[in-house]
Structure 1
Amino acid sequence: MNGFGIPVPSCFLEKNATKEVLHLIQIAHNRNIPIYHPTDFWCLNNNNHEDLEILDPAELLPGSTPADIGPSTLEKISLLISLHKKVLWIGPTGYDLAEEYSVGATQLGRILDKASCDSCDVILVGNAACKAVKGVLESSSQYTTFENSSVVWEFLKERILPGIAALDKSYPYQIPWNAVFSNPAQPLVVDIGSGNGLFLFEMARNWEGSNFLGLEMNEKLVIRCLHHVASVEKRNLFFVSTNATSTFRSIVSSYPGDLTLVTIQCPNPDFNKEQNRWRMVRRMLVEAIADILHTNGKVYLQSDVESVLLGMKEQFISYGKGRLVVDGDGDGDGDDQMENPFGVASDWERHVLARGTPMYRTMLRKV
């Protein structure tokens, strides 16, 4: 309220938050996102702790303590909720006073209960929100509840949570293959960690007889690639924003043609930096590739850090159920400094070669 220029007694202000609040208000204004604030409060008189009175923001005084949002605010909330199909309620409406003063939260619970009965998707986050509606819950009401609000905040910050990754495995992506590829029966090439898509765009130009799919966690890069796909009208190239480690099986298993090639190139470029030392190649990914890859299909691995390449190769051989071997090599060692077999370099590969350092590569084949 202070950020909107409404006078607020200094005892109610968190002064260190002023700059951040003004920044959030500006972002919302630039994106045409409305922000609403309470128009009245139930307040506790500090001289008489038994009486609650309704005050508007201009009437707030140091001698009164806001206890909860008031009836006018609830009326506005009720009107807004009736216009929407999804509501996310995080945290309490009150001000950490005794439970008997939480009048607004109980009434908001009734409003959301009615909205839920009217087919609004209601999501409750945190103990306070969940508790507020428990007493008014109707048998016909449907809620999604998360008592641990910290988990939801992490999810909203776009962190990949272990539980979400597990759900990704269980619920397959419904990709309309006939819509994204002109001929979904063609052999499929999947590039895991496709980045800016430079490698796949050139591959798709050179091999019109194959379809190419990029799996990349960075959604902004994927959106940029899809826009470029649309602009050049490529019907043998598509990108998906996902964590391929957990979703590869569910995405690729529904493809109507044969998976003939999987490439993993420079997972987390500049892997020699300490903060980048995480493993993208895990057992669940290797087993999914080994199961879905067509017989004689290939897995191409490369990195500018030799230990990373050797680690990936070891994972594929160890967890490939005996079906993945080094291509064209009888003793299983292979040449880890083989030439690029495609004649097409990824963006990071070009960067590495330009600075005069080597790339380490290997090709595996399914037997």
Structure 2
Amino acid sequence: MQLLKINDTTRRPYIAIIGGSNFLRKAPALHLLASQCDGLFLVGKLSFQIMNGLGIPVSSCLIEKNATKEVLQLIEIAHNRNIPIYYPTDLWCLNSNNNEQLEIFDSAELLSGLISLGWTPVDIGPSTLERISSLLSSYKKILWIGPTSFDLTEEFSVGATQLGQILNKASHNSCDIILVGGAACKAVKGMSDSSSQYTASENESIVWEFLKGRILPGIAALDKSYPYQIPWDDVFSDTTQPLFVDIGSGNGLFLFQMARNWEGLNFLGLEMNEKLVVRCLQDVASAGKRNLYFLSTNATSTFRSIVSSYPGQLTLVSIQCPNPDFNKEQNRWRMVRRMLVEAVADLLQVNGKRSIYSRTWSLSCLE
């Protein structure tokens, strides 16, 4: 699977068809896709969150109440970029009182009352598939990630099968197709031929982690040859501005203050703790800051490949309080290694500055 192909936006227009559930956990990846793609079509349980965020009545049993903030942020990103967000217009539904009774309902009709009468959505309906087919004819690149169904079973997979047929047709019209996850790959299996243009991976979880900005261990090990690519033009409003990198950015308070005080600089925080990075990115989106960004990564191995792709100049690198908990055996290593220092020295502009602030100076000494 060529992970970087997902972030490659040279072929446009680019649309992502996104299925599955758990909006909160996927929020950083969804926000990234909203900043890169020219359209989003949400299916599966994710679509209920978007419909609720757009003010469409949705039964409370289908809403992730702890994801409301992230849903509204996604809608805001799409609105600011003037890209559409689509959702199913009709759904195949199963009657809980009769497991053999299947019917098609309008989405709004179902979500506003039929749920309480025992009808449960199981997959996208024919009108939704017709809409997808009509939309895709104007796109040059399509990502399908996650199942179209509303549960994790494959007993009813009409939507996935027909979507696979639609994408197979699109692949014959010089459209790049990226398939991620077992449902997507299974749907087109056996349809493709020599004229089809597919990139496929059944390992959906790895792709979600990649889209969140997490450096995968196997990739990190090959850092020097791995061209880590950041959509800088989507991250910062002006990529010609000098870059300030804070390694081990923690809760991000330092960089937030710097970004407020120095609008003429771009600030990038590199932090290993993914939860802290997710919170920082949420705060960045809420504040509308376009000169501040955070990545979850081990900068010791990835600094060079991340920063080397930045269009402007690197003017300052800071490492503050590199003081790990030495009671944990896995933390018993020096914080600043030679490979990181060499990468910083190579990439800093002439007269650029690097600063290390440590409670224990020996921790930052080179090996």
Q: Distance in 1 between matches of 2:363 and 2:192?
A: 54
Counterpart in 1 of 2:92?
42
Q: Distance in 1 between matches of 2:335 and 2:195?
A: 44
Q: Distance in 2 between matches of 1:223 and 1:274?
A: 37
Identity of aligned residues (%): 54
Spell out the pairing of 1:18-97 with structure 2 (5 A cutoff).
18-20=64-66, 22-31=68-77, 32=79, 33-44=83-94, 52-57=102-107, 58=109, 60=114, 62-96=117-151
- The one-letter code sitting in structure 1 at the alignment partner of 2:357 is S
1:14 equivalent to 2:14? Answer no
Counterpart in 2 of 1:104?
159
**Superposed displacement of residue 128, structure 1:** 1.7
Per the normalisation by structure 1, the TM-score is 0.52
Counterpart in 2 of 1:145?
200
**Superposed displacement of residue 248, structure 1:** 5.6
Q: Given the superposition, is the C-alpha separation of residues 269 and 139 from structure 1 closer, same or farther in structure 2, using an over 3 Å criterion?
A: same
User: Paired residue for 2:169, among 70, 91, 114?
Assistant: 114
Spell out the pairing of 1:200-349 with structure 2 (5 A cutoff).
217=270, 224=291, 245-247=300-302, 265=318, 267-269=319-321, 271=323, 280-282=335-337, 284-285=339-340, 302-306=356-360, 309-313=361-365, 316=366, 318=367
**Superposed displacement of residue 170, structure 1:** 1.1
Q: Distance in 2 between matches of 1:98 and 1:107?
A: 17
- The one-letter code sitting in structure 2 at the alignment partner of 1:132 is A
The answer (yes or no) to whether the contact 1:301–1:312 under 8 Å persists in 2 is: no
1:154 equivalent to 2:224? Answer no
Q: Distance in 1 between matches of 2:173 and 2:101?
A: 35
For these two proteins, the number of residue pairs brought into alignment is: 263
**Superposed displacement of residue 72, structure 1:** 0.7
Q: Distance in 2 between matches of 1:166 and 1:67?
A: 41
The answer (yes or no) to whether the contact 2:334–2:363 under 8 Å persists in 1 is: no
Q: Deviations over 1:105-155 (max 9, x none)?
A: 011012122233334333222222222221322332233333232222323
Secondary structure, aligned partner of 1:94: coil
Q: Which runs of 5+ in 1 are unaligned?
A: 182-189, 200-213, 227-240, 255-261, 294-298, 319-367
- The one-letter code sitting in structure 1 at the alignment partner of 2:224 is K
The answer (yes or no) to whether the contact 1:28–1:34 under 8 Å persists in 2 is: no
Q: Deviations over 1:39-98 (max 9, x none)?
A: 122334567655644332326463544332111101111222233333332221124486
1:5 equivalent to 2:56? Answer yes
**Superposed displacement of residue 242, structure 1:** 8.8
- The one-letter code sitting in structure 2 at the alignment partner of 1:94 is S
Q: Given the superposition, is the C-alpha separation of residues 44 and 248 from structure 1 closer, same or farther in structure 2, using an over 3 Å criterion?
A: closer
Q: Distance in 2 between matches of 1:7 and 1:160?
A: 36
**Superposed displacement of residue 34, structure 1:** 3.3
**Superposed displacement of residue 7, structure 1:** 6.0
Q: Given the superposition, is the C-alpha separation of residues 114 and 191 from structure 1 closer, same or farther in structure 2, using an over 3 Å criterion?
A: same
Secondary structure, aligned partner of 1:14: helix
**Superposed displacement of residue 102, structure 1:** 1.0
- The one-letter code sitting in structure 1 at the alignment partner of 2:359 is V
Q: Deviations over 1:211-248 (max 9, x none)?
A: xxx9863898x96389xxxxxxxxxxxxxx99653356
- The one-letter code sitting in structure 2 at the alignment partner of 1:281 is V
Q: Distance in 2 between matches of 1:6 and 1:107?
A: 28
| Alignment root-mean-square deviation, CA | 5.3
Q: Deviations over 1:252-277 (max 9, x none)?
A: 999xxxxxxx9975x243747889x7
The answer (yes or no) to whether the contact 1:245–1:281 under 8 Å persists in 2 is: yes
Q: Given the superposition, is the C-alpha separation of residues 21 and 171 from structure 1 closer, same or farther in structure 2, using an over 3 Å criterion?
A: closer
Secondary structure, aligned partner of 1:217: strand
**Superposed displacement of residue 172, structure 1:** 4.8
Q: Which runs of 5+ in 2 are unaligned?
A: 1-47, 230-238, 259-266, 272-280, 310-314, 348-352
The answer (yes or no) to whether the contact 1:88–1:124 under 8 Å persists in 2 is: yes
Q: Distance in 1 between matches of 2:245 and 2:148?
A: 47
Q: Given the superposition, is the C-alpha separation of residues 140 and 69 from structure 1 closer, same or farther in structure 2, using an over 3 Å criterion?
A: same
Q: Distance in 1 between matches of 2:301 and 2:152?
A: 44
- The one-letter code sitting in structure 2 at the alignment partner of 1:27 is Q
Q: Distance in 2 between matches of 1:140 and 1:44?
A: 38
Q: Distance in 1 between matches of 2:157 and 2:220?
A: 37
Spell out the pairing of 1:127-142 with structure 2 (5 A cutoff).
127-142=182-197
**Superposed displacement of residue 103, structure 1:** 1.1
Q: Given the superposition, is the C-alpha separation of residues 249 and 92 from structure 1 closer, same or farther in structure 2, using an over 3 Å criterion?
A: closer
